[in-house]
Amino acid sequence: METYGKESSKENLTIHDVAKALGVSASTVSRAISGKGRIGEKTRQRVLQYIDEKSFYPNASARSLAQSKTYNIAIIMPEVKDLVDMPFFHTCMHGAEEIAQVNDYDLLIVTTDGTNIKPLERMVNNRKVDGMILTRLYREDAFVDYLKSTGIPFVAIGNSDDPDVYTVDHDNYGGCRELVGLLLSKGIRRVAYLGGGMEQTVNIKRFEGYCDGLKEAGKQVDNSIVYTDLISKVKVSKAVEEVLKTDTDCILCQDDYICDEVVHYLADKGIDIPKKMKVASCHHSKLLDNFPVTITSLKFDTMEIGRRACKTLLGIINGEKVYKNTLLDYEINLKESTKG
């Protein structure tokens, strides 16, 4: 009796090998594995047991080709130049990966600054992924425009009114608003706002929350202590310097990048937190833990946002009904930096 070449070697099995060994057709094996199509329960079990024993796994490329599905998704990350940003993006990625793995998807990572769209194009055109997660969302976002034009499923982390854009975000607006209210209710008189990068929707929402928080407490937004263009450490310290000339008693920092600089600046000048100036941040990265004084801040579950983004994406891919805009809750951490 002849042997069938491959049969003897330790090479990878194919669905045909399995079929032959079992005396059934390849289609039957395929149906047994996928569970789709009509197949007898007994045959099904027999196949499943066999492939388990022989630890057969279907070839992903072949399956992709036949199904026009890759079981890959990509997550688009910015170049994280600053340590402050790293925990957010890394954890977020981790969360997305967790969900992907559970659903037998793989996560492909793509780092790009906001301008270079080439990597995205390659993925889409080659059909290497079934969908994408955008970890950063701009008010006018070239990536979004591109992805929309291709029709590939995607979800963005951030905020958007566009009915074609699925988003997942923390409730930055609500968080900041409540935080401001809380600070004012604790005897703080004037809260300055230090922010920047207003082309990012996340930052817009935070600022809006700040404004509405003030209004709700019957205060007006005072532009002389509001900064929304602080895109460098130097600018931040300049802003603090200006704020110090006013009778402001609290600085609300848009994020930890800014908070980091504010705290350092005040420390350098020997200005005590919270005695001389109170400080709060709209975001809590673990980095804040390393400061000499604990910082009042909003706390978001960054891993969860990654998970939700991925869940939503997979939902879209699979044609399920999913929420167009998901908003995750926040926690307010009152710490020493606003005590008094």
**Closest listed residue to residue 54, CA positions, set 22, 25, 97:** 22
Q: Which of its own copies, DNA, none interacts with 90 (beta carbon under 5 to 8 A by kind)?
A: its own copies
Pick one of 40, 119, 224, 320: the residue that binds its own copies (CB under 8 A).
Answer: 119
CA atoms within 13 A on the CB side of 226: 11
Closest distance to its own copies from the beta carbon of 151 (Å): 9
H or E, element range at 274: none
Collapsing DSSP to helix, strand or coil, 326 comes out as strand
Q: Between 154 and 193, whose beta carbon lies closer to its own copies?
A: 154
| 15 lies in the site for DNA, by CB under 7 A | yes
Binding span for its own copies by CB under 8 A among 122-130, 210-218, 269-277, 322-330: 122-130
Pick one of 286, 318, 320, 323: the residue that binds its own copies (CB under 8 A).
Answer: 286
Pick one of 4, 9, 23, 151: the residue that binds DNA (CB under 7 A).
Answer: 23
Query: What end-to-end distance do the CA atoms of the chain give, in Å?
Result: 91
- For residue 35, give every residue at least 6 positions away whose Cβ sits within 8 Å of its Cβ, in sequence order, or none: none
Q: Between 130 and 169, whose beta carbon lies closer to its own copies?
A: 130
Closest distance to DNA from the beta carbon of 110 (Å): 21
Largest CA distance in the chain: 96
26 to 29, 55, 336: CA distances (angstroms): 5, 17, 67
DSSP one-letter string for 227-264: E----SHHHHHHHHHHHHHTT--EEEESSHHHHHHHHH
Binding site for its own copies (CB under 8 A): 12, 55, 57-62, 64-65, 70, 72, 79-80, 83, 86-87, 90, 93-94, 97-98, 101, 104, 106-111, 119, 122-123, 125-128, 286-287, 289-292
Binding site for DNA (CB under 7 A): 12-16, 23-28, 30-31, 33-34, 36-44, 58-59, 62-63, 65-68
